[in-house]
């Protein structure tokens, strides 16, 4: 019976590791998005126009979070 318990414990640990990795990945993505939006909001209008954006779109995305 010890072997079944060990397999269950190992399986449970793998699930925890997967959840932690997902959490860190989500956090990194969120930070990168915030950083990108901050940089975009600092660009002058003529550069935003070159890439097909304007300050209103960037501000709306910043408010969405």
Residue 3 has pLDDT above 70, yes or no: no
Q: Where are the domains of the chain?
A: 2-64
Percent of the chain with pLDDT over 70: 83
Crossing angle, helix 55-64 and helix 2-42, to 10 degrees? 150
Compute CA distances 26 → 3, 6, 21, 23, 33, whole Å: 35, 30, 9, 5, 11
pLDDT confidence of 1, banded at 50, 70, 90?
Answer: very low
């Amino acid at each position: 019976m010890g072997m079944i318990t060990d397999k269950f414990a190992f399986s449970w640990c793998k699930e925890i590791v997967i959840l932690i990795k997902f959490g860190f990945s989500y956090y990194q993505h969120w930070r990168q998005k915030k950083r990108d939006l901050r940089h975009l909001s600092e660009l002058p209008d003529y550069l935003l126009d070159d890439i097909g954006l304007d300050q209103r779109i960037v501000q709306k995305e910043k408010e969405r979070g």
